[in-house]
Amino acid sequence: MLEVTWAQYERDSKTFIKKHKQTVKNAQDLEATMTGDIPISMPEEEIQMRMGMGDKIFDAGLKFLNWVQSFIKSNSAGQLIVVLVPFSMLIALGAIVVGSVQGWDVHESIYFAVVSMTTVG
């Protein structure tokens, strides 16, 4: 009985170690993906299993996200876009909201939003 128990223990410990190593690898891959060290991707087997139109769109979306991620990290124009697009969207949103509440025309609304957002006034 002792030998059977020992064999079971060795088999269970090998399985546990294998699962632990896989979990650690998955966690490291996830952390690297979140920090941008490696691009977002899917395993090739999973890509091959997806055959529908929605899945092809999903795959194209992942490829586009990888391209955007590499563009932003490697290009100064991409870094500038990351700053300017949200800033201009905030100015536009502020101009639309305040302009519609106050009854201002487009020029007054944009002027007010720019002055408010850039703390010039």
- Residue spans of the domains in the chain: they are 76-121
Query: Does residue 68 carry a pLDDT above 80?
Result: yes
Query: Given this model, what pLDDT does residue 53 score?
Result: 65
Burial of 68 (0-12, 13-18, 19+ CB in 10 A): middle
* 114: nearest Cα among 84, 87, 82: 87
Mean pLDDT of the 39-67 span: 69
Query: Given this model, what pLDDT does residue 73 score?
Result: 84
Range from 1-10, 31-40, 71-80 that averages highest in pLDDT = 71-80
- With contact defined as beta carbons under 8 Å apart, do 58 and 46 qualify? no
Instruction: Give all strands (DSSP E) within the chain, no chain letters.
Output: none
- Give the integer Cα–Cα distance in Å for 105 and 121: 19
